[in-house]
Each structure stands twice: as C-alpha cells, then as structure tokens.
Chain A
Amino acid sequence: ILNVEQSPQSLHVQEGDSTNFTCSFPSSNFYALHWYRWETAKSPEALFVMTLNGDEKKKGRISATLNTKEGYSYLYIKGSQPEDSATYLCAPPYILTGGGNKLTFGTGTQLKVEL
C-alpha cells in the first residue's frame, strides 16, 4: 500500500496570491505521479502526469515539479483566481499486470481563493 501525503490539507488565499502545495510519496519503485484538479460537482480533471526526476510541467498559471529521489512534488499556482478554487489531488499509479493503472490518491489540498 502506497502512503501518499499532501499538505496543507486546506489553504485560503487572496485573489492574485501565488501559492504552492506538496505531495509526498514513496520514492522507491517510482513510475509516475498524476496531479488532478477536482471542483465540487465536477469530474476530477487531469492536470499533469510526471515521470522524470526534475520534471517541470506547466498548464497556464499552474506548474508542477518532481523530485523522485526524495519523493515529493510541488504544485504551484501563480496569481490565484477564484476559479482555481478546488481540491488538488496527487496520485502515483501502480501499473497493473493486465495493463492500465491503479491510482493511490493523497488526501488532497483544498484551495479556496477569495476576492
């Protein structure tokens, strides 16, 4: 069983603030790390699949970095907007023998951006 931790659990920021949060995962047998953004009453939206140590990926104002040796990933949001309010989930996949992946989710970081 993979132990995946995310911090902080929740975060309140003002519009325009930049913010970041952390995902910690076991560094041994690393394959990849998935980041999802989950708004209430919507489907979790895939943000990034990160694979290589030192990877940095960007999607608009959101970016993520990966350190596989120490087992953590940071997600950054630059100039937060109210529409960024969501729960951000990370999950390393376990590759299934028959194909496909099983994601082990962290607890998530709930972000609220206030005007």
Chain B
Amino acid sequence: EPEVTQTPSHQVTQMGQEVILRCVPISNHLYFYWYRQILGQKVEFLVSFYNNEISEKSEIFDDQFSVERPDGSNFTLKIRSTKLEDSAMYFCASSDIQGIPRSGNTIYFGEGSWLTVV
C-alpha cells in the first residue's frame, strides 16, 4: 500500500540552526501538509500546499518556516533558525482530489520526524 515517508525519523539540533525535514508524499496525491505535535499537546496544523504554493498556513507558521516541493516528489519543511519551542514531532501528510464533495478527503500521514532543539 502506498505510504508517506519521512526523513529523518529523529534529529537533534542546536538552537539557532537551520533544519530541513523531508517527506515523500503518495505519488498521485496533489495536496500536501505539515502538522506537528508538541509533547503532551494536540496535533496541530501548520501548512497546506497545492499547485506549488501554500494554500493555507496557521499562525504558528511564521517567517522562520518555509515549505518547498523542489523536484515533483519531495516535500520539505525548513525551519530557518530553530528555537527550543520548535521541539516537536513533525508529520507530513498528503491527500488526493477524490472523495465525497465537501466531505474532506482521507489524509494520509507519515510516521513523523521527531525534532529536538537543544
């Protein structure tokens, strides 16, 4: 069964360093997302990406964050200058255009990248 894959599974970085989290969404999907979960908190939406541009972003997704789909298969999340509070599990997800109109298509998640900022 097709799946969303993410790398790295775990990264430790120093505060202020740049981090790039990588994702390979399911190949025929068109919508791509990043979510995160800070330990003990809810899974929260960061950004959605469609047709090579951001379609929606949350208030968490400030100028320190950026996303890119550089080559038609990878989807990356970059954090320019990490802060301690960026420590979280980051999930990539994707969905296609099929499904019941107005119902919401199934969104498929990767296993997550655990980021620890020290």
Interface residues, chain A, with chain B CB atoms under 8 Å away: 31-32, 34, 36, 41-46, 49, 51, 89, 92-93, 95-108
Known: A34-B107, A108-B42. 8 other contacts (CB 8 A): A31-B104, A41-B111, A44-B43, A49-B104, A96-B55, A99-B31, A101-B95, A103-B43
**B42 and A31: CB pair below 8 A?**
no
Describe A's contact surface by its main secondary structure.
Answer: loop
Given contacts A43-B91, A46-B108, contact A97 B44 (CB under 8 A): no
CB-defined contacts of A32 to chain B, threshold 8 Å = 100, 102-104
Q: Which residues, 27 to 67 on B, are CB-close (under 8 Å) to A?
A: 30-31, 33, 35, 42-45, 48, 50-51, 55-56
Contact among A42, A46, A99 for B97, CB-based, below 8 A: A99
Closest 7 CB pairs of A and B: A100-B31, A93-B104, A98-B55, A32-B103, A32-B104, A105-B43, A51-B103
Most interface-central of B33, B55, B105, B110 (chain A CB within 10 A): B105
Closest to B40 in A: A107
Give Cα distance in the complex from A101 to B101, angstroms.
Answer: 12
Contact among B55, B99, B102, B111 for A42, CB-based, below 8 A: B111
> In the assembled complex, how far is the CB of residue A24 from the closest CB belonging to chain B, in whole angstroms?
14
